[in-house]
Structure 1
Amino acid sequence: MEAELRKEFSQNNFTIEDSETAQQCLSLCSSYDMTASDFVASWEVFYLNMQLDNGLVQSSQLEKFRQVLQNEQREAFRRKHSDIHFYTKDDVDMLMNNHDNDQDEITHGTPQTVPKTKRVSTPGQFRDASMDIDNQYVAPKTPASHGKTSTGASGQRPESSPLTPFSQRTNKCVVQFVFNKHLSEDASDVISTEASEDDFMRRLKPIQRLQVKIINGGPHAGCRYMYDRLESKFNELEKRIRRFVFAVSEHEQKNISHHVALASQEEVMVAGKVCCDGEGHLNSKSVLLEGSVEDSGGQRVRLDLHNISQYSLFPGQVLVVEGHNPSGHCLVASRLIDSIPLPLYFASHDHESPPAKRQASDQTAHLVADRSSTGLSILVAAGPFTTSDNLSFEPLGELLSHCRKKRPNLLLLLGPFVDSEHPQIKQGLVDKLFSHIFQEEIRMRIEEYCEEMGEGARVMFVPSSRDAHHNYVFPQPPFETNLFEDPGKQITLLANPGSFQIDKVTVCCCSMDILRHLSSEELSHGQPGASTDRLARLASHIVGQRSFYPLFPAAPGVPLDLSIAPEAMNLPCTPDILILPSDLAPFVKVLSSLATNTSESSGIKSDGKLEVDQVSMDFGHVGTICVNPGRLAKGVMGGTFVEMLIPTASEDLPVAQANKNLLARTKVVVTRI
């Protein structure tokens, strides 16, 4: 057999390092019941995927190769017994292990050591002699366990798995920042169960199911794109200007239909969008205001800003400018209006329904509130969900393990899921279809999580233009429904961008990194010596401009297509919570564009240090909590995610008062995975 193995390797241009390596290969052939030709064929695939060179079969590489063979055996076993659920020690340890309680999981700067767990044998388990299954598995757990090379179903690393930088991290579950930190004790009392219940009973208690209402659907699945015409872009930009002018006219009670390039000695109010006089970035000398075709024939005029003490501009921003234009070539601005937030969702929609329908809606909302009397818990994470050195999706496994202990009402996941920027995908080193990677690594894990947590647990998917298995277009349709098997209706597929309402809390989210795009194009000027919150200012443009992507032209690489569902780019209302994942530092802000006073805010600097800016806030003003959860995986290490705890509000509060209380009673925790 050894001679046959050496001959097969030689015919495929491989050389075995020494006799000891040959004996190890022979042992693997015997353990996995493989012929010499099958063994060498599997080695060749492994050789190419790992980018090995010189054609030498070394002893140091056989351990990783053994892991690949073991995973292939698990996959074959899972397909053969797909109708049987095999329980592992993790099912029992998740409930019985007292070391995994909430106090041990969330620390304040001190990393916790995960204790080793004992192997638990379950009734009816068996071991196939032809399979070398390590102590992480009694048998393949469910379809979700297939395809994992370095993580198990609960995110713990098998003893024999190769060490990765992610598995060796020392800052696991370290809390980076807590928004409304003074609510720590009260919020935990509301969200968690009574102190008399032990940890085992708390985890067995079913999650209360909440009603999720999709506000704007966005492009439908399977829509046609790449038919974007100049006419579509022109019409959408014109509509944006007209909508903004109408809102400002109602607010100011003034006519704003003047020509931007018409000479006038009197003070006038004109509207248009910001453009750059050149191909570079905006500066104070290159700002142009392009009027609408309806009022100004699309003409442009230079904008003089020397009388404006504070401003923040970017290309595509819609402005109403008050000033003088004595020559017709230069508009000397004395006032800029760049932010007109929309009303809240209930305030803007309740009057549209007849009284009988509103009463029925109120009764339904009351029933939902009764079911969620303990409050609302949302966990938010944004991709990538795997580190750049492998496709094992270790961070996702850790996240789901955390969710099994925290049991949130809603798990909101924003793409990319199969990241087209991942080195192995970008270089074409994977031997699977992108859709298969999503199904095996994402879908199966999520379906297993939903089945384990019960019908009350909800999971929501928001795609990204970086998803290699999905449509490369923005705005983006939701994932195809046939990608999931969801008998319990627990999985909701949202478009990108998307908006929904849960327990009277309106949430808007967009996986496109608009914050980073705005940061590279923004022209900002402030009063000397005055401190400004740049991240909050960038996020406030989204709400103030009433658009998920107000930048135009779009940043390089953004597949903006305004011919499909252009209304999907518009905010349907002022959200209570705005989720904008970004490569910028994770933060929690209350947007200053919605209140006269800057609110409590926080951010994490690029060097990892916490940046806190606390200013006394007048909660009498309506505000939006903006959250950047960061990326769940950053390079070969883990990133951050966000937990939001929102106690249920009183039913008899008016809309503005309820929103005010939302800011005061919402606890947001930024945690490292």
Structure 2
Amino acid sequence: MEDQIRQEFLSNNFTLEDDDTAEKCAAMCSSLGMEPEEFVSKWELFYLNLQMDGVKVLKADLDGFKQFLEKERREFFRKKQTGLHFYTKDDVDMLLDDKQETEWEEKPLPQTPSKEKVTPESYVDPTELTPPPFTLKNRGFSLHTPADVALKPSDTPFARRVNKFAVQFTFNDHLSLESSGEAASNTDSDDILKRLKPVRRCEIDVLGTGPESGTRYMFDQIENRFGAVDKRLQNFAKVLEERLHRKVDDHVAHASQEKVVVVGRVCCEGEGHLNDNSVLLEGSVEHSNGQRVRLDLRNIPKFSFFPGQVIGVEGQNPSGFCLMATRIFDSIPLPSVSLLEDEEPPAKRRTSNQESKTPESPQLTRIVAAAGPFTTNDNLAYEPLVELFAYAKKVRPNLLILMGPYVDSEHPQIKQGTVNKSFSHIFQEEIRMRVEEYCEEMGDGCRVVLVPSHRDAHHDLIFPQPPFDAHDFEDPNHQITLLTNPGILKINEVTAGFCTTDILRHLSSEEVSRVPQGASSDRMTRLASHLLAQRSFYPLFPPAQSVPLDLTLAPGSLDLPSSPDILLLSSNLAPFVKVLSLPRDIQPVDDENDIREKAGKVRCVCINPGYAARGMSGGTFTEICFSGGDSSSGLEPLHKRLQVRVIRV
């Protein structure tokens, strides 16, 4: 028996640790009445479920393997017993249906009197009397692989985490908003009072254009990519002409002793990363026939470049091969809807504010925002998502924003294919059902926004990305908003932009910058400001290798229609809250103090909520609170009356 087991393990690319291991395997095989082929086949299943490393069968793992076999055998014998009904997935789907559940609750259980004669019409199958294991209110079951069946919630590293819902840091912590007190309340009476008070419904409008559900892709041709890049150059040149009040039509590679102003995109001379000496400028087809020229930056004290960035350059090109820059125009942001500074004189502004003042205090808008992945790497139990919904039910925000990925293609079990359900079933059972239950429990006033990610294994693998299909959701009260990736929403009077592609990390690996000696520069603020300066959610080109960019869909999807008030960018980088401040008009870049005095500002609050799950532990999410509407209503600018808290899951 031992030789047969050794040979069978070898034929399946496994080796035994020693002779004692082979002897124990033979004893287990005999006691369970199994053939060596079946025994090794069960070991391979056990090996895959536990995601074990190596191909050596260790003696220490045989005890767990024995428990696995015994449990499987007990289940087999239970199913052979008569009079018992074991529910399958089809039965569970039927029981989850509202109509079926109503019939079960209203229809009394039939009973057969013992002294009456049983007729074929009155006979009732005993299996039909078995109560259902699930009800509509308790349908939030989780999908587990066979390796997770015996896993208790208290045994996971996530369950043993510390500092649950601890606030990591607060932006504008000096503001005493109502949310801070309510979130800290733990008494039962306060919870009951909050639940009795309905959630105020906020107004949500989808701005901008994006791919619709069912959009065809994978037709991105080379000429389409070239045309999309060249169109960005033309648009930038047109805006620069309006700001400078002069023509910007010079050839980037023509020799000239006089100063010229040209527009082009930043390129790298080689295949590596950008540096001070490898920056090339590629002109447009209209003015430069797409030619490139080396960019000399020795006279530029401060800059920040990345591949694909569209810039204007003022300088001289004596030889035609090297453009010596004296001035860079790299930022022409769009005006913001509600964060532009009021240009009216102070006296006039005070008068208008007094006339529009109402006795009612500004209403508070509370938003809870989190970005996926929503489950830890060691299982698919979605414990962080469960905790996130528990927090939202306690705090009762006006809006809950969930940014993908939901079924993360980078999850170990998804990548290795060890799950026993399709990716769509995982999304339906773990995400959709929980979202619908949350909306049902919180009432008609609560709203939920779902933003997909190109890492979602069940959704279209393309960027920009269409929203989820609305037919997959039960939303009779129109509480669920399905947004594109990227997308822009208007929440009451505040605009918010969303992007789940990690543009910040991609820019950080490609950027080259220079800061004057002794000057300070916030790198995260600088990276996020590129999106507003370039008027694009993803200005990097060529994109990162992991991004399936389709430039055929880009002109109407990646472009910013206006500078948003709040910019939510999910990133693997550390969570942060930054106020982006860009001059509205073109000013000399070597004196920022003059900019602050002479030009107004376009301000945007950029937030990276972090990931809800990191490794085998919890990550972070954010709670955003602000009062009133836009600055035109007489209130302070949003960045002064907005509070953001970064909280651990």
TM-score scaled to structure 2, two decimals? 0.76
Distance 1:197 1:247, change over 3 A: farther
Tell me how far apart the structure 2 counterparts of residues 64 and 446 of structure 1 sit (CA, whole Å): 34
- 1:226 touches 1:561 (CA, 8 Å); kept in 2? yes
Q: Map residues 446-461 of structure 1 onto 2, 5 A cutoff.
A: 446-461=435-450
Q: Map residues 93-492 of structure 1 onto 2, 5 A cutoff.
A: 141-147=137-143, 161=153, 163-185=155-177, 188=180, 198-345=190-337, 374-492=363-481
- 1:375 touches 1:646 (CA, 8 Å); kept in 2? yes
Distance 1:623 1:472, change over 3 A: same
Tell me how far apart the structure 1 counterparts of residues 243 and 646 of structure 2 sit (CA, whole Å): 37
1:48 Cα deviation from its structure 2 partner: 4.2
1:641 Cα deviation from its structure 2 partner: 0.4
Deviates more, 1:468-477 or 1:45-54: 45-54
Distance 1:159 1:418, change over 3 A: closer
Give the partner amino acid of 2:205: K
2:232 aligns to what SS in structure 1?
helix
- 2:451 touches 2:484 (CA, 8 Å); kept in 1? yes
1:477 Cα deviation from its structure 2 partner: 0.7
- 2:563 touches 2:602 (CA, 8 Å); kept in 1? no
Deviates more, 1:215-224 or 1:73-82: 73-82
1:199 Cα deviation from its structure 2 partner: 2.9
Distance 1:487 1:146, change over 3 A: farther
Deviates more, 1:323-332 or 1:571-580: 323-332
Q: Specify every segment of 5 or more residues in structure 2 that has no aligned partner in the other structure, as ranges.
A: 1-23, 33-39, 79-85, 102-127, 341-355, 586-595
1:254 Cα deviation from its structure 2 partner: 2.3
- 1:320 touches 1:336 (CA, 8 Å); kept in 2? yes
Deviates more, 1:306-315 or 1:484-493: 484-493
Give the partner amino acid of 1:638: G
1:465 Cα deviation from its structure 2 partner: 0.7
Distance 1:206 1:289, change over 3 A: same
Give the partner amino acid of 1:468: A
* 1:439-472 Cα deviation digits (max 9, x unpaired): 0111111111111111111111111111100111
Distance 1:665 1:196, change over 3 A: farther
- 1:75 touches 1:147 (CA, 8 Å); kept in 2? no
1:375 Cα deviation from its structure 2 partner: 1.5
Is the counterpart of residue 632 in structure 1 residue 624 in structure 2? no
Tell me how far apart the structure 1 counterparts of residues 377 and 160 of structure 2 sit (CA, whole Å): 15
1:202 Cα deviation from its structure 2 partner: 1.2
The number of equivalent residue pairs is 555
Tell me how far apart the structure 1 counterparts of residues 527 and 316 of structure 2 sit (CA, whole Å): 28
Distance 1:146 1:189, change over 3 A: closer
Tell me how far apart the structure 2 counterparts of residues 482 and 139 of structure 1 sit (CA, whole Å): 23
* 1:491-542 Cα deviation digits (max 9, x unpaired): 1111111011011100011111000110010011111122210011000000
- 2:531 touches 2:538 (CA, 8 Å); kept in 1? yes
- 2:450 touches 2:483 (CA, 8 Å); kept in 1? yes
1:583 aligns to what SS in structure 2?
coil
2:514 match: 525
2:140 aligns to what SS in structure 1?
helix
- 2:262 touches 2:314 (CA, 8 Å); kept in 1? yes
Distance 1:66 1:74, change over 3 A: farther
Tell me how far apart the structure 2 counterparts of residues 213 and 83 of structure 1 sit (CA, whole Å): 32
1:50 match: 50
* 1:2-43 Cα deviation digits (max 9, x unpaired): xxxxxxxxxxxx979879x98xxxxxxxxxxxxxxxxx9999
Give the partner amino acid of 1:666: L
Deviates more, 1:250-259 or 1:210-219: 250-259
1:143 Cα deviation from its structure 2 partner: 2.8
Give the partner amino acid of 2:648: R
1:409 Cα deviation from its structure 2 partner: 1.0
Distance 1:85 1:376, change over 3 A: farther
Distance 1:499 1:86, change over 3 A: same
Tell me how far apart the structure 2 counterparts of residues 83 and 370 of structure 1 sit (CA, whole Å): 49
Is the counterpart of residue 569 in structure 1 residue 558 in structure 2? yes
1:623 aligns to what SS in structure 2?
strand
Give the partner amino acid of 1:144: G
1:534 match: 523
1:667 match: 643
1:654 aligns to what SS in structure 2?
helix
* C-alpha RMSD over aligned residues: 4.2
1:585 match: 574
Among 600, 604, 622, the alignment partner of 2:602 is 622
Deviates more, 1:556-565 or 1:295-304: 556-565
Q: Map residues 15-54 of structure 1 onto 2, 5 A cutoff.
A: 48-51=48-51
- 1:191 touches 1:375 (CA, 8 Å); kept in 2? no
1:145 Cα deviation from its structure 2 partner: 2.8
Tell me how far apart the structure 2 counterparts of residues 68 and 492 of structure 1 sit (CA, whole Å): 43
2:538 match: 549
Tell me how far apart the structure 2 counterparts of residues 196 and 392 of structure 1 sit (CA, whole Å): 28
* 1:312-354 Cα deviation digits (max 9, x unpaired): 0001000001111111111111111111110123799xxxxxx
Tell me how far apart the structure 1 counterparts of residues 621 and 518 of structure 2 sit (CA, whole Å): 34
1:147 Cα deviation from its structure 2 partner: 3.3
Tell me how far apart the structure 2 counterparts of residues 242 and 663 of structure 1 sit (CA, whole Å): 33
- 1:507 touches 1:577 (CA, 8 Å); kept in 2? yes
1:159 Cα deviation from its structure 2 partner: 11
* 1:85-110 Cα deviation digits (max 9, x unpaired): 999xxxxxxxxxxxxxxxxxxxxxxx
Tell me how far apart the structure 2 counterparts of residues 622 and 225 of structure 1 sit (CA, whole Å): 35
TM-score scaled to structure 1, two decimals? 0.74
- 1:86 touches 1:139 (CA, 8 Å); kept in 2? no
1:111 match: none
- 2:503 touches 2:538 (CA, 8 Å); kept in 1? yes
Distance 1:626 1:16, change over 3 A: farther
Tell me how far apart the structure 1 counterparts of residues 168 and 240 of structure 2 sit (CA, whole Å): 40
Is the counterpart of residue 501 in structure 1 residue 490 in structure 2? yes
Distance 1:496 1:429, change over 3 A: same
Tell me how far apart the structure 2 counterparts of residues 591 and 249 of structure 1 sit (CA, whole Å): 25
Tell me how far apart the structure 2 counterparts of residues 469 and 457 of structure 1 sit (CA, whole Å): 26
Give the partner amino acid of 2:272: G
1:199 aligns to what SS in structure 2?
helix
Tell me how far apart the structure 1 counterparts of residues 199 and 224 of structure 2 sit (CA, whole Å): 46
Q: Specify every segment of 5 or more residues in structure 1 that has no aligned partner in the other structure, as ranges.
A: 1-13, 23-39, 88-127, 151-156, 349-365, 597-616
1:216 Cα deviation from its structure 2 partner: 1.6
1:558 Cα deviation from its structure 2 partner: 1.2
- 1:260 touches 1:299 (CA, 8 Å); kept in 2? yes
Tell me how far apart the structure 2 counterparts of residues 450 and 262 of structure 1 sit (CA, whole Å): 63
Give the partner amino acid of 1:493: L
- 2:266 touches 2:309 (CA, 8 Å); kept in 1? yes
- 2:142 touches 2:382 (CA, 8 Å); kept in 1? no
1:642 match: 622
1:26 match: none
* 1:347-380 Cα deviation digits (max 9, x unpaired): 99xxxxxxxxxxxxxxxxx9xx999953211111
Which is higher, the Rg of structure 1 or of structure 2? 2
1:288 Cα deviation from its structure 2 partner: 0.6
Percent identical among aligned pairs is 51
Tell me how far apart the structure 2 counterparts of residues 67 and 289 of structure 1 sit (CA, whole Å): 71
1:672 Cα deviation from its structure 2 partner: 0.7
